[in-house]
Structure 1
Amino acid sequence: MRLSQRLDELHAKVRSNKWMGYFTTFTRLALVAGFLMAGYVKISGERFTDLHNNQPMGHFLEALYHTGYYYTFIGYAQILAALLLLVPRTVVLGTLLYLPIILNICILSLAVRFEGSLLTAPLMVIACIYLLCWHYDRIKYILPFNHPPTLQLVKDDKFPKWFFAGVLATFLAVGFTVTHIYNLLPRNTLKYCEKQCADSANPEGCKIFCEGIHQKGQDLNKSLDIYERAVQNDKRK
Protein backbone atom coordinates (compact mmCIF):
# COMPACT_ATOMS: atom_id res chain seq x y z
CA MET A 1 0.00 0.00 0.00
CA ARG A 2 1.34 3.44 -0.94
CA LEU A 3 2.20 5.93 1.76
CA SER A 4 -0.23 8.47 0.32
CA GLN A 5 -3.07 5.93 0.48
CA ARG A 6 -2.28 5.11 4.11
CA LEU A 7 -2.26 8.79 4.99
CA ASP A 8 -5.60 9.25 3.24
CA GLU A 9 -7.13 6.38 5.20
CA LEU A 10 -5.76 7.69 8.51
CA HIS A 11 -6.96 11.20 7.71
CA ALA A 12 -10.43 9.96 6.80
CA LYS A 13 -10.67 8.00 10.05
CA VAL A 14 -9.62 10.98 12.14
CA ARG A 15 -11.84 13.50 10.34
CA SER A 16 -14.89 11.31 10.76
CA ASN A 17 -14.71 11.43 14.57
CA LYS A 18 -16.92 14.13 16.12
CA TRP A 19 -14.75 14.47 19.24
CA MET A 20 -11.74 15.21 17.11
CA GLY A 21 -13.84 17.83 15.36
CA TYR A 22 -14.67 19.47 18.69
CA PHE A 23 -10.99 19.48 19.65
CA THR A 24 -10.07 21.05 16.31
CA THR A 25 -12.60 23.84 16.81
CA PHE A 26 -11.20 24.49 20.30
CA THR A 27 -7.67 24.58 18.89
CA ARG A 28 -8.66 27.11 16.23
CA LEU A 29 -10.36 29.40 18.74
CA ALA A 30 -7.43 29.17 21.17
CA LEU A 31 -5.04 30.23 18.43
CA VAL A 32 -7.35 33.06 17.40
CA ALA A 33 -7.46 34.35 20.97
CA GLY A 34 -3.68 34.17 21.18
CA PHE A 35 -3.13 36.55 18.27
CA LEU A 36 -6.10 38.93 18.40
CA MET A 37 -5.01 40.77 21.53
CA ALA A 38 -1.29 40.65 20.66
CA GLY A 39 -2.03 42.07 17.22
CA TYR A 40 -4.36 44.77 18.54
CA VAL A 41 -1.70 46.05 20.96
CA LYS A 42 0.75 46.51 18.08
CA ILE A 43 -1.78 48.13 15.76
CA SER A 44 -2.82 50.60 18.46
CA GLY A 45 0.82 51.62 18.88
CA GLU A 46 1.18 50.49 22.48
CA ARG A 47 4.16 48.71 23.98
CA PHE A 48 3.62 44.98 24.17
CA THR A 49 5.11 44.60 27.64
CA ASP A 50 6.34 46.60 30.61
CA LEU A 51 9.51 44.56 31.02
CA HIS A 52 12.62 46.56 31.89
CA ASN A 53 14.86 47.30 28.93
CA ASN A 54 17.78 45.49 30.57
CA GLN A 55 15.83 42.24 30.57
CA PRO A 56 16.69 40.30 27.34
CA MET A 57 13.12 40.03 26.06
CA GLY A 58 12.34 43.54 27.25
CA HIS A 59 15.39 44.83 25.35
CA PHE A 60 14.23 43.07 22.17
CA LEU A 61 10.62 44.24 22.44
CA GLU A 62 11.69 47.82 23.13
CA ALA A 63 13.83 47.78 19.99
CA LEU A 64 10.95 46.19 18.05
CA TYR A 65 8.61 48.91 19.28
CA HIS A 66 10.87 51.57 17.77
CA THR A 67 10.93 49.99 14.29
CA GLY A 68 7.95 52.10 13.25
CA TYR A 69 5.56 50.59 10.72
CA TYR A 70 7.31 47.19 10.93
CA TYR A 71 5.91 46.88 14.47
CA THR A 72 2.45 47.74 13.15
CA PHE A 73 2.86 45.35 10.21
CA ILE A 74 3.43 42.44 12.59
CA GLY A 75 0.22 43.38 14.40
CA TYR A 76 -1.80 43.41 11.17
CA ALA A 77 -0.29 40.04 10.18
CA GLN A 78 -1.32 38.54 13.52
CA ILE A 79 -4.86 39.93 13.24
CA LEU A 80 -5.17 38.67 9.66
CA ALA A 81 -3.97 35.18 10.62
CA ALA A 82 -6.49 35.08 13.48
CA LEU A 83 -9.40 36.21 11.29
CA LEU A 84 -8.54 33.69 8.59
CA LEU A 85 -8.63 30.94 11.22
CA LEU A 86 -12.18 31.94 12.14
CA VAL A 87 -13.52 31.17 8.65
CA PRO A 88 -13.65 27.44 7.78
CA ARG A 89 -12.85 28.06 4.10
CA THR A 90 -9.68 30.01 4.96
CA VAL A 91 -8.38 27.97 7.89
CA VAL A 92 -5.48 26.50 5.90
CA LEU A 93 -4.38 29.92 4.64
CA GLY A 94 -4.64 31.31 8.15
CA THR A 95 -2.58 28.44 9.57
CA LEU A 96 0.11 28.85 6.92
CA LEU A 97 0.36 32.53 7.87
CA TYR A 98 0.15 31.85 11.61
CA LEU A 99 2.81 29.13 11.75
CA PRO A 100 5.93 31.12 10.70
CA ILE A 101 4.96 33.98 13.04
CA ILE A 102 4.50 31.78 16.10
CA LEU A 103 7.54 29.66 15.19
CA ASN A 104 9.63 32.82 15.23
CA ILE A 105 8.18 33.76 18.64
CA CYS A 106 8.90 30.24 19.90
CA ILE A 107 12.55 30.32 18.85
CA LEU A 108 12.91 33.84 20.29
CA SER A 109 11.42 32.74 23.63
CA LEU A 110 13.81 29.81 23.86
CA ALA A 111 16.79 31.93 22.81
CA VAL A 112 16.27 34.59 25.49
CA ARG A 113 14.72 32.18 28.04
CA PHE A 114 11.53 34.25 28.35
CA GLU A 115 9.11 32.59 30.77
CA GLY A 116 6.11 34.50 29.46
CA SER A 117 5.89 32.40 26.32
CA LEU A 118 8.29 29.55 27.08
CA LEU A 119 5.36 27.13 27.38
CA THR A 120 2.63 28.70 25.26
CA ALA A 121 4.69 29.36 22.12
CA PRO A 122 5.80 25.71 21.60
CA LEU A 123 2.25 24.52 22.23
CA MET A 124 0.92 27.00 19.67
CA VAL A 125 3.44 25.74 17.12
CA ILE A 126 2.23 22.18 17.76
CA ALA A 127 -1.39 23.38 17.44
CA CYS A 128 -0.65 24.86 14.01
CA ILE A 129 0.97 21.63 12.84
CA TYR A 130 -2.09 19.74 14.11
CA LEU A 131 -4.40 21.98 12.06
CA LEU A 132 -2.32 21.37 8.94
CA CYS A 133 -2.60 17.63 9.57
CA TRP A 134 -6.36 18.01 10.07
CA HIS A 135 -6.58 19.64 6.66
CA TYR A 136 -4.21 17.17 5.04
CA ASP A 137 -6.67 16.68 2.18
CA ARG A 138 -6.15 20.34 1.19
CA ILE A 139 -2.38 20.52 1.47
CA LYS A 140 -1.36 17.02 0.37
CA TYR A 141 -0.93 18.12 -3.24
CA ILE A 142 2.23 20.05 -2.36
CA LEU A 143 3.79 16.89 -0.90
CA PRO A 144 5.93 14.56 -3.09
CA PHE A 145 3.43 11.69 -3.08
CA ASN A 146 1.09 10.05 -5.55
CA HIS A 147 -2.39 11.17 -4.59
CA PRO A 148 -5.36 8.79 -4.86
CA PRO A 149 -8.88 10.25 -4.59
CA THR A 150 -9.85 11.51 -1.15
CA LEU A 151 -11.77 8.86 0.78
CA GLN A 152 -15.38 9.39 1.81
CA LEU A 153 -15.86 10.14 5.50
CA VAL A 154 -17.97 7.82 7.65
CA LYS A 155 -19.46 9.36 10.80
CA ASP A 156 -17.83 8.12 14.01
CA ASP A 157 -19.02 9.10 17.52
CA LYS A 158 -16.51 7.00 19.46
CA PHE A 159 -14.45 9.01 21.95
CA PRO A 160 -10.75 8.84 20.89
CA LYS A 161 -9.29 8.29 24.35
CA TRP A 162 -5.81 7.48 23.05
CA PHE A 163 -5.67 10.71 21.05
CA PHE A 164 -6.63 12.86 24.02
CA ALA A 165 -4.23 10.90 26.22
CA GLY A 166 -1.56 11.80 23.66
CA VAL A 167 -2.62 15.47 23.81
CA LEU A 168 -2.29 15.45 27.60
CA ALA A 169 1.06 13.65 27.39
CA THR A 170 2.31 16.20 24.84
CA PHE A 171 1.22 19.10 27.05
CA LEU A 172 2.96 17.59 30.08
CA ALA A 173 6.08 16.70 28.08
CA VAL A 174 6.40 20.22 26.64
CA GLY A 175 5.69 21.77 30.04
CA PHE A 176 8.28 19.60 31.79
CA THR A 177 10.88 20.19 29.07
CA VAL A 178 10.63 23.98 28.95
CA THR A 179 10.66 24.26 32.75
CA HIS A 180 13.74 22.04 33.15
CA ILE A 181 15.76 22.78 30.01
CA TYR A 182 17.51 25.77 31.62
CA ASN A 183 19.25 25.81 34.99
CA LEU A 184 19.13 29.61 35.11
CA LEU A 185 16.59 32.13 33.79
CA PRO A 186 16.75 35.94 33.59
CA ARG A 187 13.15 36.18 34.87
CA ASN A 188 11.18 39.40 34.55
CA THR A 189 12.56 41.36 37.55
CA LEU A 190 15.73 41.38 39.65
CA LYS A 191 13.88 40.23 42.78
CA TYR A 192 12.19 37.38 40.92
CA CYS A 193 15.49 36.40 39.28
CA GLU A 194 17.29 36.20 42.63
CA LYS A 195 14.66 33.82 44.04
CA GLN A 196 16.17 31.00 41.99
CA CYS A 197 19.67 31.58 43.37
CA ALA A 198 19.18 29.58 46.55
CA ASP A 199 18.79 26.40 44.49
CA SER A 200 21.53 27.20 41.98
CA ALA A 201 24.98 25.61 41.80
CA ASN A 202 26.56 28.92 42.83
CA PRO A 203 24.22 31.32 44.68
CA GLU A 204 26.65 34.24 44.58
CA GLY A 205 27.34 33.70 40.91
CA CYS A 206 23.61 33.57 40.32
CA LYS A 207 23.14 36.95 42.02
CA ILE A 208 25.90 38.41 39.87
CA PHE A 209 24.10 36.99 36.83
CA CYS A 210 20.81 38.64 37.87
CA GLU A 211 22.48 41.97 38.61
CA GLY A 212 24.29 41.85 35.29
CA ILE A 213 20.99 41.37 33.45
CA HIS A 214 18.70 43.74 35.35
CA GLN A 215 21.06 46.45 36.60
CA LYS A 216 23.91 46.55 34.09
CA GLY A 217 22.00 45.48 30.96
CA GLN A 218 24.59 42.85 30.07
CA ASP A 219 24.14 40.47 27.18
CA LEU A 220 22.44 37.21 28.23
CA ASN A 221 25.24 35.01 26.90
CA LYS A 222 27.92 37.13 28.59
CA SER A 223 26.07 36.92 31.91
CA LEU A 224 25.71 33.15 31.52
CA ASP A 225 29.44 32.81 30.79
CA ILE A 226 30.28 34.70 33.98
CA TYR A 227 28.01 32.42 35.98
CA GLU A 228 29.42 29.25 34.41
CA ARG A 229 32.97 30.38 35.20
CA ALA A 230 31.94 30.93 38.82
CA VAL A 231 30.52 27.39 38.96
CA GLN A 232 33.68 25.93 37.43
CA ASN A 233 35.86 27.84 39.91
CA ASP A 234 33.82 26.38 42.79
CA LYS A 235 34.37 22.87 41.47
CA ARG A 236 38.15 23.39 41.36
CA LYS A 237 38.27 24.41 45.02
Structure 2
Amino acid sequence: MKLLVQLQQFQEEARYNIWFRIFTVFCRVALAASFIPSGIVKIMGERFTALPPNNPLGHYFDALHLTGYYYTFIGIAQLCIALLLLIPRTAFVGALAYFPVIINICVLTYATRFEGTRIVTLMVLADLYLLFWDYKRLKAIVWSAGLPKAPLSKKFPFAFAGFVIAAIAAVVLSNQFLYEIRPGNSMAECKNQSAGGKNPKGCAIFCDCIYQKGLPLDSCLKEYAKTKASGKADKSH
Protein backbone atom coordinates (compact mmCIF):
# COMPACT_ATOMS: atom_id res chain seq x y z
CA MET A 1 0.00 0.00 0.00
CA LYS A 2 2.85 2.38 0.86
CA LEU A 3 4.48 1.68 -2.52
CA LEU A 4 1.19 2.44 -4.29
CA VAL A 5 0.91 5.78 -2.50
CA GLN A 6 4.49 6.62 -3.45
CA LEU A 7 3.79 5.79 -7.09
CA GLN A 8 0.72 8.03 -7.04
CA GLN A 9 2.76 10.89 -5.58
CA PHE A 10 5.47 10.37 -8.21
CA GLN A 11 2.86 10.39 -10.96
CA GLU A 12 1.32 13.63 -9.66
CA GLU A 13 4.71 15.33 -9.53
CA ALA A 14 5.66 14.03 -12.99
CA ARG A 15 2.54 15.53 -14.59
CA TYR A 16 3.78 19.01 -13.62
CA ASN A 17 7.31 18.46 -14.90
CA ILE A 18 8.07 19.85 -18.37
CA TRP A 19 10.53 17.05 -19.22
CA PHE A 20 8.02 14.33 -18.38
CA ARG A 21 5.44 16.12 -20.53
CA ILE A 22 7.85 16.25 -23.46
CA PHE A 23 8.62 12.54 -23.04
CA THR A 24 4.88 11.79 -22.91
CA VAL A 25 4.26 13.63 -26.18
CA PHE A 26 7.22 11.82 -27.72
CA CYS A 27 5.78 8.42 -26.69
CA ARG A 28 2.37 9.29 -28.12
CA VAL A 29 3.81 10.45 -31.44
CA ALA A 30 6.22 7.50 -31.68
CA LEU A 31 3.51 4.92 -30.98
CA ALA A 32 1.13 6.60 -33.42
CA ALA A 33 3.87 6.71 -36.06
CA SER A 34 4.45 2.97 -35.60
CA PHE A 35 0.82 2.19 -36.52
CA ILE A 36 0.28 4.66 -39.38
CA PRO A 37 2.49 3.03 -42.08
CA SER A 38 1.40 -0.52 -41.22
CA GLY A 39 -2.24 0.57 -41.15
CA ILE A 40 -2.02 2.24 -44.57
CA VAL A 41 -0.33 -0.84 -46.07
CA LYS A 42 -3.16 -3.07 -44.81
CA ILE A 43 -5.88 -0.73 -46.05
CA MET A 44 -4.25 -0.70 -49.50
CA GLY A 45 -4.24 -4.51 -49.45
CA GLU A 46 -0.49 -4.82 -49.83
CA ARG A 47 1.78 -7.39 -48.18
CA PHE A 48 2.88 -6.05 -44.80
CA THR A 49 6.45 -7.32 -44.60
CA ALA A 50 9.38 -8.21 -46.83
CA LEU A 51 10.04 -11.35 -44.78
CA PRO A 52 10.08 -14.48 -46.98
CA PRO A 53 7.21 -17.00 -46.65
CA ASN A 54 9.58 -19.62 -45.19
CA ASN A 55 10.28 -17.29 -42.24
CA PRO A 56 7.90 -18.13 -39.32
CA LEU A 57 6.67 -14.54 -38.99
CA GLY A 58 6.60 -14.07 -42.77
CA HIS A 59 4.42 -17.18 -43.05
CA TYR A 60 2.04 -15.73 -40.44
CA PHE A 61 1.75 -12.39 -42.26
CA ASP A 62 1.16 -14.17 -45.58
CA ALA A 63 -1.75 -16.02 -44.00
CA LEU A 64 -3.04 -12.77 -42.48
CA HIS A 65 -2.81 -11.07 -45.87
CA LEU A 66 -5.18 -13.69 -47.30
CA THR A 67 -7.97 -12.98 -44.81
CA GLY A 68 -9.60 -10.39 -47.07
CA TYR A 69 -11.41 -7.50 -45.41
CA TYR A 70 -10.26 -8.65 -41.96
CA TYR A 71 -6.79 -7.55 -43.04
CA THR A 72 -8.25 -4.18 -44.07
CA PHE A 73 -10.15 -3.93 -40.77
CA ILE A 74 -6.90 -4.31 -38.81
CA GLY A 75 -5.39 -1.47 -40.84
CA ILE A 76 -8.38 0.81 -40.17
CA ALA A 77 -8.22 -0.02 -36.45
CA GLN A 78 -4.51 0.83 -36.35
CA LEU A 79 -5.09 4.20 -38.03
CA CYS A 80 -7.94 5.00 -35.62
CA ILE A 81 -5.73 4.16 -32.62
CA ALA A 82 -2.94 6.32 -34.02
CA LEU A 83 -5.35 9.23 -34.46
CA LEU A 84 -6.62 8.83 -30.88
CA LEU A 85 -3.03 8.93 -29.59
CA LEU A 86 -2.28 12.16 -31.46
CA ILE A 87 -5.28 14.05 -30.06
CA PRO A 88 -4.60 15.14 -26.45
CA ARG A 89 -8.21 14.71 -25.32
CA THR A 90 -8.39 11.13 -26.62
CA ALA A 91 -4.77 10.09 -25.99
CA PHE A 92 -5.72 7.96 -22.97
CA VAL A 93 -8.35 6.06 -25.00
CA GLY A 94 -5.72 5.55 -27.70
CA ALA A 95 -3.18 4.20 -25.20
CA LEU A 96 -5.85 1.91 -23.76
CA ALA A 97 -6.79 0.57 -27.22
CA TYR A 98 -3.11 0.29 -28.20
CA PHE A 99 -2.26 -1.99 -25.28
CA PRO A 100 -4.00 -5.28 -26.28
CA VAL A 101 -2.81 -4.86 -29.87
CA ILE A 102 0.84 -4.30 -28.98
CA ILE A 103 0.81 -7.08 -26.35
CA ASN A 104 -0.44 -9.49 -29.02
CA ILE A 105 2.29 -8.33 -31.42
CA CYS A 106 4.93 -8.61 -28.69
CA VAL A 107 4.00 -12.20 -27.79
CA LEU A 108 3.94 -13.06 -31.51
CA THR A 109 7.45 -11.67 -32.09
CA TYR A 110 8.85 -13.56 -29.10
CA ALA A 111 7.11 -16.78 -30.19
CA THR A 112 8.60 -16.51 -33.70
CA ARG A 113 11.99 -15.22 -32.45
CA PHE A 114 11.70 -12.10 -34.60
CA GLU A 115 14.70 -9.75 -34.72
CA GLY A 116 12.49 -6.72 -34.05
CA THR A 117 11.42 -8.04 -30.65
CA ARG A 118 13.47 -5.38 -28.84
CA ILE A 119 11.65 -2.52 -30.57
CA VAL A 120 8.24 -4.08 -29.95
CA THR A 121 9.11 -4.57 -26.27
CA LEU A 122 10.04 -0.89 -26.00
CA MET A 123 6.68 -0.05 -27.60
CA VAL A 124 4.93 -2.06 -24.87
CA LEU A 125 6.87 -0.20 -22.18
CA ALA A 126 6.08 3.16 -23.80
CA ASP A 127 2.38 2.34 -23.81
CA LEU A 128 2.53 1.24 -20.17
CA TYR A 129 4.12 4.60 -19.39
CA LEU A 130 1.24 6.40 -21.14
CA LEU A 131 -1.29 4.39 -19.15
CA PHE A 132 0.56 5.26 -15.94
CA TRP A 133 0.59 8.91 -17.04
CA ASP A 134 -3.21 8.86 -16.90
CA TYR A 135 -3.24 6.78 -13.73
CA LYS A 136 -6.35 8.45 -12.29
CA ARG A 137 -8.42 7.60 -15.37
CA LEU A 138 -7.08 4.06 -15.41
CA LYS A 139 -7.81 3.70 -11.70
CA ALA A 140 -11.40 4.85 -12.27
CA ILE A 141 -11.83 2.01 -14.78
CA VAL A 142 -9.97 -0.79 -13.00
CA TRP A 143 -10.53 0.03 -9.34
CA SER A 144 -13.86 1.84 -9.41
CA ALA A 145 -15.87 1.76 -6.19
CA GLY A 146 -19.00 0.71 -8.04
CA LEU A 147 -22.59 1.96 -7.93
CA PRO A 148 -24.58 2.26 -4.69
CA LYS A 149 -26.38 -0.96 -3.78
CA ALA A 150 -30.11 -1.05 -4.51
CA PRO A 151 -32.76 -3.51 -3.30
CA LEU A 152 -32.72 -6.72 -5.35
CA SER A 153 -35.73 -6.93 -7.69
CA LYS A 154 -37.31 -10.24 -8.72
CA LYS A 155 -39.33 -8.73 -11.58
CA PHE A 156 -38.60 -10.68 -14.78
CA PRO A 157 -37.47 -8.38 -17.63
CA PHE A 158 -39.75 -9.71 -20.38
CA ALA A 159 -38.93 -6.93 -22.86
CA PHE A 160 -35.17 -7.40 -22.44
CA ALA A 161 -35.47 -11.21 -22.66
CA GLY A 162 -37.44 -10.81 -25.88
CA PHE A 163 -34.76 -8.51 -27.28
CA VAL A 164 -32.02 -11.06 -26.43
CA ILE A 165 -33.94 -13.91 -28.11
CA ALA A 166 -34.62 -11.75 -31.18
CA ALA A 167 -30.95 -10.74 -31.39
CA ILE A 168 -29.81 -14.39 -31.20
CA ALA A 169 -32.33 -15.42 -33.86
CA ALA A 170 -31.29 -12.53 -36.13
CA VAL A 171 -27.59 -13.45 -35.88
CA VAL A 172 -28.21 -17.17 -36.52
CA LEU A 173 -30.59 -16.62 -39.45
CA SER A 174 -28.60 -13.83 -41.10
CA ASN A 175 -25.43 -15.93 -40.99
CA GLN A 176 -27.33 -18.85 -42.49
CA PHE A 177 -28.09 -16.81 -45.63
CA LEU A 178 -25.13 -14.42 -45.59
CA TYR A 179 -22.86 -16.50 -47.85
CA GLU A 180 -23.80 -18.69 -50.79
CA ILE A 181 -20.87 -21.02 -50.07
CA ARG A 182 -18.41 -21.49 -47.21
CA PRO A 183 -15.20 -23.54 -46.81
CA GLY A 184 -16.59 -25.38 -43.78
CA ASN A 185 -14.31 -27.08 -41.27
CA SER A 186 -13.54 -30.12 -43.42
CA MET A 187 -13.81 -31.38 -47.00
CA ALA A 188 -16.92 -33.39 -46.11
CA GLU A 189 -18.61 -30.40 -44.48
CA CYS A 190 -17.73 -28.23 -47.46
CA LYS A 191 -19.16 -30.68 -50.01
CA ASN A 192 -22.34 -31.18 -47.98
CA GLN A 193 -23.39 -27.74 -49.18
CA SER A 194 -23.95 -29.16 -52.66
CA ALA A 195 -26.96 -31.16 -51.43
CA GLY A 196 -29.98 -29.27 -52.73
CA GLY A 197 -27.74 -26.44 -53.94
CA LYS A 198 -28.06 -24.60 -57.24
CA ASN A 199 -24.47 -25.20 -58.29
CA PRO A 200 -23.24 -28.65 -57.10
CA LYS A 201 -20.45 -28.75 -59.70
CA GLY A 202 -19.19 -25.36 -58.59
CA CYS A 203 -19.36 -26.47 -54.95
CA ALA A 204 -17.16 -29.50 -55.69
CA ILE A 205 -14.63 -27.34 -57.58
CA PHE A 206 -14.62 -24.79 -54.73
CA CYS A 207 -14.01 -27.45 -52.06
CA ASP A 208 -11.22 -29.08 -54.08
CA CYS A 209 -9.68 -25.65 -54.58
CA ILE A 210 -9.65 -25.08 -50.80
CA TYR A 211 -8.71 -28.51 -49.45
CA GLN A 212 -6.82 -30.19 -52.30
CA LYS A 213 -5.05 -27.30 -54.03
CA GLY A 214 -4.73 -25.14 -50.90
CA LEU A 215 -5.41 -21.91 -52.80
CA PRO A 216 -6.56 -18.66 -51.13
CA LEU A 217 -10.25 -18.15 -50.45
CA ASP A 218 -10.57 -15.30 -52.98
CA SER A 219 -9.10 -17.46 -55.76
CA CYS A 220 -11.48 -20.32 -54.97
CA LEU A 221 -14.47 -17.98 -54.87
CA LYS A 222 -13.52 -16.75 -58.35
CA GLU A 223 -13.43 -20.37 -59.58
CA TYR A 224 -16.87 -20.93 -58.06
CA ALA A 225 -18.19 -17.77 -59.73
CA LYS A 226 -16.85 -18.96 -63.10
CA THR A 227 -18.74 -22.26 -62.85
CA LYS A 228 -21.86 -20.36 -61.85
CA ALA A 229 -21.54 -18.01 -64.82
CA SER A 230 -20.89 -20.88 -67.25
CA GLY A 231 -23.93 -22.71 -65.88
CA LYS A 232 -26.13 -19.70 -66.60
CA ALA A 233 -24.65 -19.42 -70.10
CA ASP A 234 -25.44 -23.09 -70.80
CA LYS A 235 -29.06 -22.61 -69.69
CA SER A 236 -29.47 -19.57 -71.91
CA HIS A 237 -28.42 -21.66 -74.92
TM-score (norm 1): 0.58
Aligned length in residues: 145
- Equivalent residue number for residue 141 of structure 1: 140
Look up the equivalent residue of 2:119 and give its one-letter code.
T
5+ residue gaps, structure 2 = 146-237
Partner of 1:173: none
**1:61 matched to 2:96:** no
Q: Distance in 1 between matches of 2:101 and 2:140?
A: 23
| Identical amino acids, percent of aligned pairs | 51
Higher radius of gyration, 1 or 2: 2
Distance across 2 between alignment mates of 1:83 and 1:114? 27
- Cα deviation, residue 3, structure 1: 6.5
RMSD: 1.8
Partner of 2:119: 120
Could you say which residue in structure 1 is the equivalent of 2:29? 29
Distance 2:50 2:92 in 1: 34
Shift of 1:5: 4.8
Query: What is the identity, as a one-letter code, of the residue corresponding to 2:48?
Result: F
1:8 CA drift (Å) = 3.5
Could you say which residue in structure 2 is the equivalent of 1:105? 105
Q: How far does residue 50 in structure 1 lie from its aligned partner after superposition?
A: 2.3
Tell me the distance in 1 between the aligned counterparts of 2:61 and 2:34: 18
Amino acid at match of 1:120: I
**Cα pair distance change 1:33/1:53, threshold 3 Å:** same
2:81 alignment counterpart: 81
* In structure 2, C-alpha distance between the alignment counterparts of 1:27 and 1:109, rounded to whole Å: 21
User: 1:39 and 1:4 mapped to 2: Cα distance?
Assistant: 37
Residue identity matched to 2:72: T
Name the structure 2 match of 1:130: 129
Q: Tell me: higher relative CO, structure 1 or 2? Use CA pairs within 8 A at least 6 residues apart.
A: 1
2:5 & 2:103 partners in 1: Cα distance? Answer: 30
Unaligned runs of 5+ in 1: 147-237
CA separation of 1:4 and 1:57: change in aligned 2, threshold 3 A: closer
- How far the C-alpha of 1:6 sits from its partner, in A, is 4.1
In structure 1, the residue matched to 2:211 is none
User: The residue matched to 1:19 in structure 2 has which SS?
Assistant: helix
Partner of 1:221: none
State the 1:42 CA deviation.
0.2
In structure 2, distance between residues paired with 1:35 and 1:145? 31
Q: CA deviation at 1:17?
A: 0.7
Correspondence for 1:44: 44
- SS of 2:102 mapped into structure 1: helix
